[in-house]
Every structure is written in structure tokens, then in C-alpha cells.
Structure 1
Amino acid sequence: MRWIDGHCDVLSKMWRDPQYRSFYAQGSPLDSSYHCLCEADVAMQVFAVWTPESVPRQQRLAVALKEIDFFYEEVVRDGSRVFLVTDGGQMDECGHGRIGALLLLEGADALHGDLANLRLFHRLGVRQMGLTWNFANEVADGIYEERGGGLTRFGRQVIMEMKRLGMILDVSHLSDRGFWEVIEETGLPILASHSNCRAVCAHKRNLGDEQIEALIQRQGLIGVTFVPEFVHHCAAEATIDQVLRHVEHICALGGADHLFFGSDFDGFANKLPGLESYSRLPQLVEALSKRYGDDLVRKWGWENGKQFYQRHLSP
């Protein structure tokens, strides 16, 4: 059963520590190594380009460019096993012995307040961007920013340029006010790549019911994630069954055609039992199939994401 994973942090791990520059190695310490993805039949993987808060602001562009270099040198290489996806027409090529790879810029900090850098990232293959990580930047406030601001004037310019370039906007990590200001924008494909349901687990990184319903109305996607803190109020007690509670809640809100998964693998340390890496995905598939049947699991694992990216990815 082919699968799309809406979010992983392989590239920032590669930047932080040379031991993770081992995407193709047997026994790689990466959660989302090539062999783990193959074991799970992941046909397309979204690779985040993320610069941590610890990086001085003036160096974030350089770090993001370094991570993109790792993407091409360590992951894509000659394109024979993993290939860059920039066009919706390429979705049919994913999973037939080759894994499609989409580049996501997670947080606009690396733009350094300059639209020329957004165009630079687009030319390097980035087709999706989240406006913030958890905190404020030149574009908007993140979800952990106490003042809860929305888009800045520059942020609105960024959105207009994303529309012109045909990019996809990711609202995970964005402040609530920023979320609603983005929803008001027309002509912009929107998804939440790795966020769960606040009604099930009241973590501020999760989405409220009205936000989920708004994404459904906008024909967006909601990526159920495996981060224990976002799955259950007591992270140490999070289980696969509780991941299914988020699936159930999104479906109850009318989101069965808008649900996919964004693991956030390689972006967090403490794992759910049975979902320690993508090699363990078959256990989640089995649990989903028992409760919902194979047809719905295919929809959530592959078809919803495939249709979204086919519609919205621009060459």
C-alpha cells in the first residue's frame, strides 16, 4: 500500500550531526532512511528545510541552503532511487521503485525579509512553505508567540508572491490569528502538514475544530502526526490507538477526503510504541485497516495526498 508522508526532519538532522548523513546506509540512525521508507512503501516523502531557533537570524539563509545541498547530495543524488517532485504530473511516477521527494521550507526565517530569497528557494525546487516555526519572524507570529499576532505587511507580500509562483502554504506552527488570515486569502493551496486535533489532545500545536472545518472547506489537507505530545495529553501514554482517535475526529468533522499523515519523524526523540520509525508503519496500517477497511486506508495513506499535489504542484 503506497504512502505519502507529509513531513520529516531528515535534512536538519544531517546539518546538525554528520552521523545522520547516512540516508542510504543499512542500519542508518535516521527514522526516515531510504530503507525504512522502502519497508513502509512510502512513495513520496516531504523533506522539511528547518533552521532551529539556536541559529543566529543572519545565518538562517546559509543553514537552509546547506540543508538543500544535503538534500541533493545525500538524498536525491542521481535521481535513480529518490527524485525531486516539483510538478503534479510526477505523482504517477512515485512508488514504482523510486521515491518522490518534495521540498518544504519550514518557517520563512531563511527569507531574511527579502522576496528574492523566496524566488531563490523556488528555483532550487522548494514548492511548499510554512510561514513560521513556533515563534515570530518577519512574516507572521508562530503558535508559541504570546502576543498571538497574525501576518505582517511583508507576510502579505510573501503570500502574494507564493500565489504567483504557484506554491503551497503550510499552516502547521502558525498562530491562530495567522491561520485565519491565511484562510481569508483566495487562490492559495493550503494544508497543515503535521498537526492533530485540539478536541482530542489540547496542545496548542494542534488544530481546533473550526480550523479543521475551514481546511476542509478550502479543499486542503490535515496531516495526522505521530508526535506523542500532540497525540495524548500524557505523552508517555500515547499509543497507536490514540492516533486513531485523531483520525476518527477528523472524519466526524467531514474530513475523510482531506486526511493524510505527516509523521514528523527525525524531528522528535520520544516515540510512540510501535511507531518508532517508518519501518514500523505496517503496524499503523494494520490498526487502521481493522477499524476502517483497506479502501479508506488507501485514501488516507496515498490517494488524498496524491490528488492534492496533482492539483496544486506547479512545474
Structure 2
Amino acid sequence: MKVIDAHCDVLNKMMLHPEIDFHDADRLNVTLERLIEAGSVLQLFAVYMSVQIVNPQFDHILKAIDLFASKIVSHPKMMQIRSAADLRQAEAEGRIGAMLTLEGVEALMGRELYLRTLFHLGVRSIGITWNYANWAADGVKEPRQGGFTLKGKQFVKQCDELGMILDVSHLTEKGFWELTEMSERPFIASHSNAYVISPNERNLTKDQIQAILQKDGRIGLTFIPPLVNSEKPAVMTDLLRHIDYIASLGGSKHIGFGSDFDGTAQFTNGLEHMGRYNALAELLANHYSNDFVEGLLHRNWRSFFDKQLPAT
């Protein structure tokens, strides 16, 4: 079994609690040992500035990237992924890929130099907002539900020119539709589910899902309970409803997973940490073909990154 997961918040926990290391199974959902147990071939690590960090600065992002370098990819089993060639190398060497992403652009302060610096450091995907407004756009919990600012629109253009993958999880619906008009490149929703199955503001409507499919983007289904089932305690089988729905819209090759482990204190029953991907794989195997399951667990994300990452 191989697994690619598009979102976790390990780095935020390490920022808030510097004593945590990458083996701390009591405090982390994603550890080195659990990645090995899950058969992980690539894990995306978000640089997220917690609301506990008042007035986040670019230095905070650099500190998180330093933690990524010193506590995660320093292990010989791990390898930082910056390019499609890196993915092939990690696979050939039997190492677990680790890719940096950014969740919320507050600390970039609209400066293209900061954006380019992050790309040089290996950040390959950026979620424009978290739940609230910043200088670039509104998040899903911002009362005015606006779209992009002028600086935000310039930022999208800069990301496209650089080859930075954009992530619409947490972006308002207005912002989503503006992005579809502004950007020619495919984008992702790294940790979002289907609104029709679980009507949560963070989930995607039918039209949004179809727009992502039309652009050959990807949707990472998340394990956050209210996004899996907003009516009762979420269980693993609830994810099947999201999978079936998106597949029914033509998205069978566009669905993956973005757990959001270490970003929540609540868990879908049966999916309490990274090692539980084995149970999820078993559930999927009981409902779908081997080919479809491999697509869900890793191949759909892999084909996307093969195309959208720099070649070398």
C-alpha cells in the first residue's frame, strides 16, 4: 500500500511546543513511525500560523521551515520534495517524501520577494486564506464573504508565473470563482469534502467540484468530523458517500486525501492518527476495485504532482 496525504499541521504543533519531536506519538497524529506504518510515500506539511501567534511575521514562516529541516527531513528515511525528479528519487530509494505548503498568506504582506523566497526554500503549494480575511482575500468565516483584493489578484498572477500550486480550502466561494477566472493553472482543495453530503461552509458545492475537475485539479478529502458528517458523529464509512458523490460527477481520478491530522482535536471514528490509513485502505478495498483504491490513496495525487511540480 502507498499513501499520499495532502495536509497535516505537525509544524504548527512544533512551533507552539518546541520540545515535540517527530517521534512523539502521544502528542502528534503524524509521526515518522506512523508514516512508515501507513505506507506513506509523500506527506505535505503545512506552515500554518496559529491564531495563538499574534501578528505573524515572515520570520515565523522561516522558523517553521527551519523546524521542518531540523526535525523532519533530517531523518535519513525522509526526503524533501521540490520537483517531480525528487518524487522519482524518493521512490527509487524507498524514502518518504515531505513537501512544504503554506496555509494563509498573512505573513507574506503582499511582498513578491517573500513568495519567491518560499519557492526557493521548497514551498510548492499555498492556501491563500485560513478561515478569516487577510490582505489577499476573505476566508470562509469572514462575515462579508468577499473575494480577492487587488493585491491578492496580483499574488495569484505571481504564483502562476512561479509555478506555485494554489489551494482553495478555506477560501470563500466568491474567491473561488474569481480564482477560476484569473488562473489558467489547475488548483487544489487539499482538505475539503462535498457540501451536498455534509453542508459545512468549508466543503465544496457541486459546481465548485465540477470546476476543479474541469481544470484537472485535485480534491483531498479531509477527516475533520464536521466536514465528514455534520449531523452525527463521523465514522470512516461516511467518507464513502463523499467519494461516491465526487466520482459520480466524473472525479474518480481527481480524488485523494488530505487528513488535516494534527490540525484538530476531534477525529472521525477509526481515523485517529496516520497509522489508521491501513484501516481506511481495508474499508476502501471492500467497496472498490484495486485500481480505484490505488488512485484514491496515492496515484491521483502522484499524477498531479508529476505534472505540476518543476521537472527537476
Please report the TM-score for the alignment, with normalisation by the length of structure 1. Answer: 0.95
1:264 aligns with 2:264: no
8 Å Cα contact 1:221/1:258 also seen in 2: yes
* Aligned counterparts, 1:270-309, within 5 A: 270-309=266-305
Determine the structure 2 residue equivalent to 1:153.
150
Distance in 1 (CA, whole Å) between partners of 2:231 and 2:89 is 40
Instruction: Give the one of 23, 27, 30 matched to 1:29.
Output: 27
Instruction: Give the one of 301, 307, 310 matched to 1:311.
Output: 307
Distance in 2 (CA, whole Å) between partners of 1:145 and 1:291 is 39
Count of paired positions: 310
Distance in 1 (CA, whole Å) between partners of 2:277 and 2:90 is 18
- Residue 28 of structure 1 and its aligned partner are, at CA, apart by 5.0
Determine the structure 1 residue equivalent to 2:110.
113
8 Å Cα contact 2:78/2:95 also seen in 1: yes
Cα deviations across residues 262-309 of structure 1 (Å, max 9, x unaligned)?
Answer: 000000011122111011111111111100121111011111100100
8 Å Cα contact 2:185/2:215 also seen in 1: no
Determine the structure 1 residue equivalent to 2:184.
187
Determine the structure 1 residue equivalent to 2:54.
56
Percent of pairs identical after alignment?
40
* Aligned counterparts, 1:55-94, within 5 A: 55-57=53-55, 59-77=56-74, 80-94=76-90
8 Å Cα contact 2:101/2:125 also seen in 1: yes
Instruction: Give the one of 215, 221, 225 matched to 2:212.
Output: 215
Please report the TM-score for the alignment, with normalisation by the length of structure 2. Answer: 0.96
Instruction: Write the letter of the residue equivalent to 2:263.
Output: G
- Residue 54 of structure 1 and its aligned partner are, at CA, apart by 3.3
Distance in 1 (CA, whole Å) between partners of 2:96 and 2:186 is 23
Higher mean Cα deviation, 38-47 or 87-96? 87-96
1:44 aligns with 2:42: yes
Higher mean Cα deviation, 121-130 or 6-15? 121-130
Cα deviations across residues 201-225 of structure 1 (Å, max 9, x unaligned)?
Answer: 0000000010000000000001011
Determine the structure 1 residue equivalent to 2:94.
97
- Residue 163 of structure 1 and its aligned partner are, at CA, apart by 1.3
8 Å Cα contact 2:156/2:183 also seen in 1: no
Distance in 2 (CA, whole Å) between partners of 1:226 and 1:296 is 19
Instruction: Write the letter of the residue equivalent to 2:45.
Output: F
Distance in 2 (CA, whole Å) between partners of 1:46 and 1:123 is 17
**Aligned-CA RMSD value:** 1.4
8 Å Cα contact 1:64/1:110 also seen in 2: yes
8 Å Cα contact 1:12/1:67 also seen in 2: yes
Distance in 2 (CA, whole Å) between partners of 1:187 and 1:81 is 36
Distance in 2 (CA, whole Å) between partners of 1:268 and 1:144 is 17
8 Å Cα contact 2:160/2:183 also seen in 1: no
